[in-house]
Amino acid sequence: MSWKAKPALQQPNYPDPARLKSALEALSLLPPLVTWWEAETLKSQLAEAAQGKRFLLQGGDCAERFSDCDATRIANKLKILLQMSLVLTQGLNKPVTRMGRIAGQYAKPRTDDLETRNGVTLPAYRGDLVNRPEFTAADRTPDPSLLLRAYERAALTLNHIRALAQGGFADLHHPEYWDLDFVHHSPWKDDYQQLVHAIGEALRFMENILGVNPAALRTVEFFTCHEGLHLSYEAAQTRQVENGRWYNLSTHFPWIGVRTSDPEGAHTEYFRGIANPIGVKIGPSTTPETLARLLDTLHPDNEPGRLTLIHRCGAARIAGVLPPLIETVRASGKTVAWVADPMHGNTLTSTQGVKTRRFSDILSELEQAMDLHASLGSVLAGVHFELTGDNVTECTGGARGLSDEDLGIAYQSEVDPRLNYEQALEMSLRIARRITRRRYTEAHGEAK
Ligand code: PEP
Ligand code: CO
């Protein structure tokens, strides 16, 4: 509770503190959503990723909506992450850890506390955890009962994910179950289907020739993450466990957003006290001095897998911003898992005034991230995307060449624009292809 003595940014102002207190008390009595040993498994996988022995695929909505707690949407998100991980596993030739921005990604930081429309000023929408997007005083007033609704939605979502991940849905023998309807229309359909075929052949080889037990290939591991923004909500689900340490058991991996990453702030103080594997978003506003203090506070013992740094610099700035940050970590002697978020530094406004991102900027930042880490002797341990398994039109570009004019067709996000299914799959194919090519060149010299 030491975080309460520090300045906490981005917290809602609840008009009725007594109702808030009773919602938080109720929350603190409910069972945890995840277990601490799952969080520890993830930590050990992130330790491997930090050493280049594994890769992290982290992705999902910018903000989940309560209405996203729907069987089809959940299955579609799981499918796109499974498909991308399959592509990456094959291309990178290493195991991939999947982590969804799901089952709890309900709170959003906002630049302004208030929003004015036609002379009326109301609190900004801060995510379904806090209030509702409709522009009325009743909808925008922070409502403590939503904290309990969020916990319940997260539990329902996670329950469905666990059922799907453990059943035949994720069975590698049947990757055809993972197809989304519109994979058939994708310009990348053939690449994907060839890959699925190659995996089928490899499985048959393992089982029939090598005699490997296939049971382990019928289930997949899947972890959850969300921004740990609303501190009293996160704290109400933080428990001391058998090993004597405290864990946030609402998710496997909470992260600190860039706006709340002040080393002296309440978020850093709260995260200091939990033993989960954690992330910190860093970017152009993060100085090497700030990063050094964050490393001292959040990663004092250099525990393997504890700290993931998620850099989100923007395609135009990464070449200047990232190298000094990599150097700061190197100078500290500590190991972190470096993850590239090519989304949040590349947000722009379309010609029609809509928030969007260009596929080419996202890909460019990723490619630069891969090259910068490689040239500085560092390891890119993973990637972080805002994506959805649905056929939205929020980012432009990709193989279908979505334009600014197309954004109106199916723009659903209340906050940041996400890659749609095809764009997300294409992104993973492009990364995999680049890495395969680099591996080939390193082994055999330039391809003819
Ligand atoms: C986010 O991940 O949705 C987000 C708000 O990111 P950042 O803190 O990097 O701006
Ligand atoms: Co976002």
pTM as predicted: 0.94
- The least confident of 43-52, 188-197, 394-403, 425-434 is 188-197
At which residue do the structure tokens 């989100």 appear?
Answer: 312
Residue whose Cα lies nearest atom 3 of ligand 1: it is 62
C-alpha 65 to ligand 1 mean position (Å): 16
Cβ atoms of 308 and 256 within 8 Å: the answer is: no
C-alpha 386 to ligand 2 mean position (Å): 7
Give the C-alpha separation, 432 to 199, whole Å. Answer: 15
Nearest atom in ligand 1 to 281's CA: 9
User: pLDDT of 79-99, one tens digit each?
Assistant: 889 889 988 988 898 999 999
Nearest atom in ligand 1 to 283's CA: 9
Residue whose Cα lies nearest atom 6 of ligand 1: it is 257
Give 194-245 as a DSSP string: HHHHHHHHHHHIIIIIS---GGGGG----EEEEE---HHHHHHTEEE-TTS-
User: pLDDT of 246-283, one tens digit each?
Assistant: 999 999 999 999 999 999 999 999 999 999 999 999 99
Whole-angstrom CA distances from 242 to 36, 37, 43, 301 are 9, 10, 17, 21
Nearest atom in ligand 1 to 257's CA: 8
- Looking at residue 421, the DSSP 8-state letter turns out to be H
Nearest atom in ligand 1 to 261's CA: 8
Give the C-alpha separation, 175 to 203, whole Å. Answer: 12
How many degrees, rounded to 5, is the angle at CA 402 between CA 385 and CA 99?
A: 15
**Which residues' Cβ are closer than 6 Å to ligand 1?**
62, 109, 227, 257-259, 281, 312, 344, 416
C-alpha 402 to ligand 1 mean position (Å): 24
C-alpha 255 to ligand 1 mean position (Å): 10
pLDDT value of residue 210 = 67
C-alpha 244 to ligand 1 mean position (Å): 31
User: pLDDT of 163-190, one tens digit each?
Assistant: 988 876 666 666 666 565 656 677 777 8
Q: What b-and-e string marks burial along 48-60, b requiring 16 or more CB atoms within 10 Å of the CB?
A: bbbeeebbbbbbb
Give the C-alpha separation, 152 to 131, whole Å. Answer: 16
Ligand nearest to the CA of 312: 1
* Residue 138 CB partners (closer than 8 Å, separation 6+): none
Ligand 1 pocket: which of 227, 309, 343, 415 to mutate (most atoms <8 Å of CB)?
227
- Of 178, 272, 278, 267, give the one whose Cα is nearest residue 223: 278
End-to-end Cα separation, the chain, in angstroms:
62
> Rounded mean pLDDT of 52-79?
95
Cβ atoms of 63 and 106 within 8 Å: the answer is: yes
* Residue 284 CB partners (closer than 8 Å, separation 6+): 313, 314, 317, 321, 345
- Looking at residue 256, the DSSP 8-state letter turns out to be E
C-alpha 136 to ligand 2 mean position (Å): 24
Give the C-alpha separation, 386 to 404, whole Å. Answer: 19
User: pLDDT of 414-427, one tens digit each?
Assistant: 899 999 988 998 99
Give the C-alpha separation, 187 to 425, whole Å. Answer: 11
